[in-house]
Amino acid sequence: MPKLMLALDVLDEFEAIKISEETSEYVDCIKIGYPLVLATDLGIVKRIKDKTGKEVICDFKVADIPSTNEKIAKLTLNYADGIICQGFVGPDSVKAIMDVAKEYNKKDPKNPKKVIMVTEMSHGGATSFMQPIANEIAKMAGDLKVNGIVAPSTRPARLKELKEIANNAFVISPGVGAQGGDLKEVLKVLDENDYVIVGRAIYLNENPKESAKKYKELL
CA–CA distances in Å: residue 26 to residues 41, 72, 187, 194, 201: 26, 30, 18, 16, 14
Distance of CA 37 to the CA centre of its chain: 15
Distance CA 189, CA 207 (A): 29
The amino acid at residue 212 is A
Report CA dihedral (69, 74, 79, 81) to the nearest 10 degrees: 60
Q: What angle do CA 51, 33, 214 make, to 5 degrees?
A: 60
Query: Is 213 an active-site residue?
Result: no
Helices within the chain (DSSP H only): 13-23, 34-39, 44-52, 66-77, 91-107, 126-129, 131-144, 156-165, 183-187, 200-203, 208-218
DSSP three-state, residue 56: strand
Distance CA 193, CA 215 (A): 17
Q: CA–CA distance from 169 to each of 73, 85, 178, 183 (Å)?
A: 20, 14, 26, 21
Q: Active site residue: 61, 209, 213, 214, which one?
A: 61
Catalytic center residues: 61
